[in-house]
Structure 1
Amino acid sequence: MAQLFGVIMLFLGSTAWAGNNIYTGWFSNKAVSGYDTVAYFTEHKAVKGKAKFKFKYMDAEWYFDSAENLKLFKNNPDKYRPQYGGFCAWAVAAKMQRAPGDPNYWKIVDGKLYLNYDNSVQQKWLKDIPGFIQKADENWPKMLDQ
């Protein structure tokens, strides 16, 4: 029963996004599951954001660890928000699907943040990052219309 619930939740979670194609999960409106997207660039690790440093952007709530990170994001959100709306970069590239991006499986490439679904998917993505980015960059605009 627990496995069935997990599969149902995965399906529901993978189809939920804010109005501007930002992955937020099914039962929340938190972008990047409430993780601080600026911290990936400044602290080089996944850091949970705090509700007191919350900001609404692109129909989603973005959480930050500090007032400084919130300010950095407000001044340049395109620099800090994840590619493909926070959906799994590999899934967008390989399957043209919106799979949830897990904030614990990430990589910054050429100054851009990419998330992956889990460790096994990230291992696939790491084998050809430039190829997957190129394919995902082609797929993502088509997916915005779906």
Structure 2
Amino acid sequence: MKRFALAAVAALSFGLPAFAGEQFVDDTGFAVSGYDVVAYRSLEQAPVGQAQPAAVPGKADITADYNGATFAFATEENRATFLENPAYYAPAYDGHCAYGVSKGGKVPGNPNLWRIVDDKLYLNITKNVVSFWEEDIPGNITLAEGNWPAIDPNPASGNPIPNFTSSAPVQD
């Protein structure tokens, strides 16, 4: 009976959002390096093993605060959409690399190395890491979800994103 109860609690917990910790913010001063998190939903995802389309830069004068960070948006409409349900649009693991979380740590997520799985935005740190992530996306998400509660209280990563130069947010 105890096993059943524990299994039920574990199963239900996967349906709940992880508690938000400190959002990763790089030297742009914006969450997700200033890229528009709502715009990812309008990009056509590439098949596993192929590079995703580039993220859409946000604008420095179209912003919203959530989870202790400022998010930038390409349009006022995207900002309004975000404000309706920010937890839906914000990346998993507070913008940290999903594969890194699956391995037990917090490292930055690159906004151009993304994938939406089961309606959640996941970022990864490098192209090499993406290949490891894509070998078993469901398994890596399961590991990350199990690791996240213990990792979450740690401060956000202060590391730079390797091989990444942000073009966002842009001024008009």
State the Cα deviation string for residues 93-140 of structure 1 (Å, max 9, x = none). Answer: 02x111110001000001000000011100110000000000100111
The DSSP-based 3-state class of the residue aligned with 1:74 is helix
Pairing 1:1-146 to 2, within 5 Å after superposition: 20-25=21-26, 27-44=27-44, 45=53, 46-94=55-103, 96-146=104-154
The DSSP-based 3-state class of the residue aligned with 2:77 is helix
Higher RCO (Cα < 8 Å, 6 or more apart): 2
Runs of 4+ in 1 over 6 A off after TM superposition: none
Letter in 1 for 2:96: F
Letter in 2 for 1:40: Y
* 125-134 or 54-63, larger mean C-alpha shift: 54-63
The DSSP-based 3-state class of the residue aligned with 1:139 is helix
Corresponding residue number in structure 2 for 1:11: none
* 44-53 or 128-137, larger mean C-alpha shift: 44-53
Identity of aligned residues (%): 42
Corresponding residue number in structure 2 for 1:16: none
TM-score (norm 2): 0.70
Q: Which runs of 5+ in 1 are unaligned?
A: 1-18
Q: Which has the higher helix share?
A: 1
Count of matched residue positions in the alignment of Structure 1 and Structure 2 = 126
Separation in 2 of the partners of 1:86 and 1:105?
11
The DSSP-based 3-state class of the residue aligned with 1:91 is helix
Separation in 2 of the partners of 1:74 and 1:118?
29
Q: Which runs of 5+ in 2 are unaligned?
A: 1-19, 45-52, 155-172
The DSSP-based 3-state class of the residue aligned with 1:55 is strand
The DSSP-based 3-state class of the residue aligned with 2:22 is coil
Kindly report the root-mean-square deviation, in angstroms, between the aligned alpha carbons of the 2 structures. Answer: 1.4
